[in-house]
């Protein structure tokens, strides 16, 4: 290459990275950072959470039979809550695939040890503060870009479990024991899942049939961006919508299972399992747990749901299953359920 061509290539690379960074910052400022700052200031002033439980949207109560109304009212409430974050996640994912060199992601997140990989992925998740469904397109992009399952899984679960905004919300509107349990068990869960997934899957390289197209340097950046965004939307969104409708359909029964008033190990395990089935927006666990607490639900059940409700859901797992593999998803779910039981024990033991 001539010196001029080298300079032009470097300039194009710098411009592409700057554009991707701009999408990240502007998108999250609009969808997450500014709204969450406003909510945090309101919570600090009022010490109350303004939202209601999404699981009761449309008047659905615990034990209600499945219905199309239950499905559609839940889908409507859920979509209104998450659509900005989902749009931003798709744009970030497509921008990274089209504009950022593929070697950069592994250099940033892949580490020699599973614990350090988990720490790297968890730290990378802190700015985005998404639910696992909205974080799914970015997690898929990480895998497609060569990031190990351990680091990508830590990023995926770190978004909801280590979300600094949710921890601030909990400190302002809930008992301090909730925030402490979430912080301690959340960190342990993210690292534990990364270690378990790395051990079970052997830290293999991303599958060649991952959802996102490869970044072909022979194509222009706009074409790569459109192709990546189209693939993400056509494959991820339809199954996502169908499974959210399914969760909404059966939420009356799930509410009944998740909210027994008595305590015990089996009850905590049951609550932890149910929590991994339900999909909720970011911070939606706060009004859900507050409403359950008013109904007299035990602290063990609350502790289990405090961890598992935001961590994993059926729609979120389905969105990333092609990139991570079902063995990794099953391992992560098992560890999250165990973490939910641990959260139940910790919250029950705190004064």
pLDDT at 80: 95
| Residue listed under structure tokens 């921890």 | 167
Half-sphere exposure of 318 (CA within 13 A, CB side): 18
Token duo for residue 31: 């969808």
Q: Are 212 and 231 contacting, i.e. CB atoms less than 8 angstroms apart?
A: yes
Rg (alpha carbons) of the chain, rounded to whole number: 20
Q: Is 220 exposed, middle or buried (0-12, 13-18, 19+ CB in 10 A)?
A: exposed
Token duo for residue 50: 């303004």
**Residues with pLDDT less than 50, the chain:** 205-218
Domain span at residue 312? 3-349
204-225 tens-digit pLDDT: 544 444 444 444 444 588 899 9
Number of domains in the chain: 1
Q: How far apart are CA 288 and CA 304, in angstroms?
A: 13
| DSSP single-letter state for residue 29 | I
21-39 tens-digit pLDDT: 999 999 999 999 999 999 9
Instruction: Give Cβ neighbours of residue 70 (< 8 Å, ≥ 6 apart).
Output: 58, 60, 64, 248, 249, 250, 251, 252
CA torsion through residues 163, 132, 36, 348, sign: negative
DSSP 217-240: TTS-HHHHHHHHHHHHHHHHHHHH
């Amino acid at each position: 290459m001539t010196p001029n061509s080298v300079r032009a290539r470097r300039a194009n690379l710098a411009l592409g990275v700057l554009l991707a960074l701009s999408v990240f910052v502007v998108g999250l400022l609009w969808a997450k950072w500014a709204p969450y700052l406003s909510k945090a200031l309101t919570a600090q002033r009022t010490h109350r959470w303004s939202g209601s439980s999404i699981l009761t949207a449309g008047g659905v109560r615990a034990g209600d039979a499945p219905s199309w109304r239950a499905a559609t009212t839940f889908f409507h409430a859920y979509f209104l809550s998450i659509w900005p974050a989902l749009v931003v996640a798709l744009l970030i994912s497509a921008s990274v695939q089209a504009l950022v060199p593929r070697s950069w992601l592994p250099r940033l997140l892949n580490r020699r040890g599973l614990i350090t990989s988990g720490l790297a992925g968890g730290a990378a998740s802190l700015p985005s503060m998404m639910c696992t469904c909205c974080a799914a397109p970015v997690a898929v992009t990480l895998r497609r870009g060569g990031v190990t399952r351990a680091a990508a899984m830590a990023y995926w679960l770190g978004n909801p479990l280590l979300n600094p905004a949710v921890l601030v919300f909990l400190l302002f509107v809930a008992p301090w024991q909730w925030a402490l349990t979430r912080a301690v068990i959340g960190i342990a869960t993210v690292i534990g899942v990364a270690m378990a997934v790395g051990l079970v899957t052997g830290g293999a390289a991303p599958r060649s049939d991952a959802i996102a197209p490869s970044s072909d340097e022979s194509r222009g950046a706009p074409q790569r961006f459109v192709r990546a965004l189209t693939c993400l939307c056509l494959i991820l969104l339809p199954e996502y919508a169908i499974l959210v409708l399914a969760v909404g359909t059966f939420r009356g029964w799930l509410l009944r299972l998740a909210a027994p008033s008595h305590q015990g190990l089996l009850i905590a395990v049951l609550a932890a399992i149910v929590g991994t089935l339900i999909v909720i927006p970011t911070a939606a666990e706060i009004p859900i747990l507050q409403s359950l607490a008013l109904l007299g639900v035990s602290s063990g059940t609350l502790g289990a749901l405090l961890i598992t409700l935001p961590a994993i859901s059926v729609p979120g797992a389905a969105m990333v299953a092609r990139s991570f593999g079902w063995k990794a998803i099953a391992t992560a779910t098992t560890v999250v359920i165990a973490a939910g039981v641990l959260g139940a024990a910790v919250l029950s033991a705190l004064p």
